[in-house]
């Protein structure tokens, strides 16, 4: 959510930003906010005038009572009563206007960074850099679910009976590989100075709407029936929510955290669920990184954070690239974002395995996260990035570490987490 003062002082900038995001249907919201805000401020002035008049009249009542001018005092008391009733109506109308303004402000997109490429959708995202050689071996790379099947590592059929489409059992060496990759990502971030956190896996609606847009919430989140609780789609939600309505001392910044959680997503819409494989599923596990910092430090943290993910995947022998999200592909709260995509030698293309974003002060404004500085309080900046999310990371791993004899090579960085194993051998080839 942007600062309403920006709409008051530079509505054309806000409209231009909406156009850059190809959301022209929202242009009318800017004028509506201006109109509602003007009415609200007029009402506020009327209320302030009534409160000042009430104070003056109350003082007059006291003087008249001392002078025993009871009739005059009663007349003024009646006026005070009428003014009080009028004030109540003004405050009620203000509350309604506040709600109408907030409703519109919550869907006006954040101001994107000047460096963000302009494009309508993800087809116009821009590749910035590649890391590692995206090569195709001279032997066939099977579909990832077929590779995993040779290790007796995946059972979607049983998961379909217990839970439905979009769920899975990971087993044996593949389940161990899953945990090893998460643990490696965790320890890598701890070694970068990040504090390890396991957050709540359910959060209230006021936290959900503080960290994401209404449209995202509806498309993504599972709600707990009969309770004001949602299953998290990523630990970012509860990690940022931890600081709701908090004032952080400037000297405590930056706050850098890496969090583990299961993640639950509807995965509805055009993409749908993957029938056989693990690319789009309802449940997965993820190691995340979160930074809360001063505004002037957010862009430097953004550059560090996506690079951490690149380094982790390269240490797992997985070629990746950085893909900058264009304006039309940015979620409404984001200032700037990029995806880290892993190479698929089977498909001979890259696919998303992580996403790094800076949201400026948008989440902090919604949740009331402030910094206590020498010259007063100001809003924090928040950033998030995927360290490693399984099973997408498993897909990238098995394709890039698959050998012609059907074994999987375990990179050196992962061997301590796999009991020293250098290879996983098929059990059912």
CATH number at residue 45: 1.10.287.40
Are residues 389 and 241 part of one domain?
yes
Q: Which H or E run contains 259?
A: strand 255-264
The C-alpha angle with vertex 282 and arms to 204 and 314, in degrees rounded to 5, equals 105
34 and 166 inside one domain: no
- Average pLDDT value over all residues in the chain: 92
Query: Of 117, 120, 125, 105, which Cα lies nearest the Cα of 21?
Result: 120
Greatest mean pLDDT among 3-17, 60-74, 260-274 lies in 3-17
Alpha helices in 27-69 (DSSP H): 27-66
Between residues 273 and 310, which one has the greater pLDDT? Answer: 310
Domains: count for the chain: 2
User: Domain check: are 260 and 407 in the same one?
Assistant: yes
Model confidence, pTM: 0.90
For residues 238 and 293, state if they share a domain: yes
Do residue 349 and residue 323 come from a single domain?
yes
Asked if residue 68 belongs to a domain, the reply is yes
Residues 292, 402, single domain; the answer is yes
For the residues 327-340, what does the mean pLDDT come to?
96
- Same structural domain for residues 162 and 45? no
pLDDT reported for residue 54:
76
pLDDT digits (tens, 9 = 90+) for 339-382: 999 999 999 999 999 999 999 999 999 999 999 999 999 999 99
Residues near 127 by Cβ (< 8 Å), separated by ≥ 6? 321, 322, 323, 324
Containing structural domain, residue 202: 122-424
Looking at the domain assignment, is residue 116 inside a domain? no
- 214: helix, strand or coil: helix
User: Is residue 78 predicted with pLDDT exceeding 80?
Assistant: no
- Residue 206 confidence class, pLDDT cut points 50, 70, 90: very high
> Are both 181 and 147 inside the same structural domain?
yes
Whether 429 is in a domain gets the answer: no
Q: Is residue 40 domain-shared with residue 132, that is, in the same domain?
A: no
Report the CATH number at residue 374: 3.30.930.10
Q: Domain check: are 95 and 128 in the same one?
A: no
Q: Is residue 321 scored above 70 in pLDDT? A: yes
> Is residue 63 one of the residues assigned to a domain?
yes
- With bands split at pLDDT 50, 70 and 90, how would you rate the model's confidence at 212? confident
| Statement: residue 76 has pLDDT above 90 | no
Question: Of 76-80, 94-98, 396-400, where does mean pLDDT reach its minimum?
Answer: 76-80
Q: Are 286 and 386 in contact (CB under 8 A)?
A: yes
* pLDDT class of 63 with cuts at 50, 70, 90: confident
Burial 340-378 (b: 16+ CB within 10 A, else e): bbbbbbbeeebeebbbbbbbbbbbbbbbebbbeeeeeee
Domain shared by 385 and 340, yes or no: yes
Tell me the mean pLDDT in the region 100-104: 93
Burial-class residue 395 by CB neighbours within 10 Å (0-12, 13-18, 19+).
buried
* pLDDT range class, residue 270, cuts 50, 70, 90: very low
User: Does residue 141 belong to any structural domain of this protein?
Assistant: yes
Q: Which two tokens stand for residue 278?
A: 């693990």
Please check whether residue 110 lies inside any domain of the structure: no
The mean pLDDT of 140-147, rounded to a whole number, is 95
Is residue 205 very low, low, confident or very high in pLDDT (cuts 50, 70, 90)? very high
Q: How confident is the model at residue 272, as a pLDDT?
A: 54
In a domain, 384, yes or no: yes
Domain end call among 42, 77, 105: 105
- pLDDT reading at 153 higher than 90: yes
| Angle, CA of 224, 227 and 231, to the nearest 5° | 35
pLDDT at position 90 over 80: yes
Last residue of a domain, one of 48, 71, 105: 105
Is pLDDT of 166 > 60? yes
Q: Are residues 78 and 185 in the same domain?
A: no
């Amino acid at each position: 959510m942007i600062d309403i003062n920006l709409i008051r002082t530079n509505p054309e900038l806000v409209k231009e930003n909406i156009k850059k995001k190809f959301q022209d249907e929202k242009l009318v919201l800017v004028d509506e906010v201006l109109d509602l805000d003007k009415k609200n401020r007029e009402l506020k002035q009327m209320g302030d005038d009534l409160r000042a008049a009430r104070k003056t009249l109350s003082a007059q009542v006291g003087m008249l009572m001392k002078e025993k001018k009871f009739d005059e005092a009663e007349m003024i008391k009646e006026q005070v009563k009428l003014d009080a009733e009028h004030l109540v109506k003004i405050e009620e109308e203000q509350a309604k206007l506040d709600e109408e303004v907030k409703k519109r402000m919550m869907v006006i997109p954040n101001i994107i960074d000047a460096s963000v490429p302009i494009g309508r959708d993800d087809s116009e995202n821009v590749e910035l850099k590649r890391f590692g050689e995206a090569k195709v071996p001279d032997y066939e790379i099977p579909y990832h679910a077929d590779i995993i099947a040779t290790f007796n590592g995946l059972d979607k059929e049983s998961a379909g009976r217990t839970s439905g489409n979009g769920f899975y059992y990971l087993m044996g060496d593949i389940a161990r590989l899953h945990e090893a990759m998460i643990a490696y990502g965790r320890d890598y971030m701890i070694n970068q100075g990040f504090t390890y956190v396991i957050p709540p896996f359910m959060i209230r609606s006021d936290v959900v709407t503080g960290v994401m847009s209404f449209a995202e919430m509806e498309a993504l989140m599972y709600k707990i029936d009969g309770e004001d609780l949602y299953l998290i789609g990523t630990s970012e939600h509860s990690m940022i929510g931890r600081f709701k309505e908090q004032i952080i001392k400037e000297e405590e910044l930056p706050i850098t955290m890496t969090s583990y959680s299961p993640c639950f997503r509807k995965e509805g819409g055009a993409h749908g669920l993957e029938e056989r494989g693990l690319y789009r599923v309802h449940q997965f596990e993820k190691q995340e990184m979160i930074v809360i910092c001063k505004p002037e430090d957010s862009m430097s943290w953004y550059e560090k954070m996506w690079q951490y993910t690149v380094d982790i995947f390269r240490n797992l022998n997985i070629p990746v690239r950085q893909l900058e999200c264009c304006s039309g592909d940015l979620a409404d709260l984001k200032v700037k974002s990029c995806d880290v995509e892993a190479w698929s030698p089977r498909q001979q293309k890259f696919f998303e395995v992580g996403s790094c974003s800076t949201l400026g002060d948008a989440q902090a404004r919604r949740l009331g996260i402030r910094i206590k500085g020498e010259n007063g309080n100001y809003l924090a900046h928040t950033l998030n990035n995927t360290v490693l999310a399984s099973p997408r990371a498993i897909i990238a791993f098995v394709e890039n570490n698959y050998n012609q004899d059907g074994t999987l090579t375990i990179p050196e960085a992962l061997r301590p987490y796999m009991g020293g194993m250098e290879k996983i051998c098929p059990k059912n080839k």
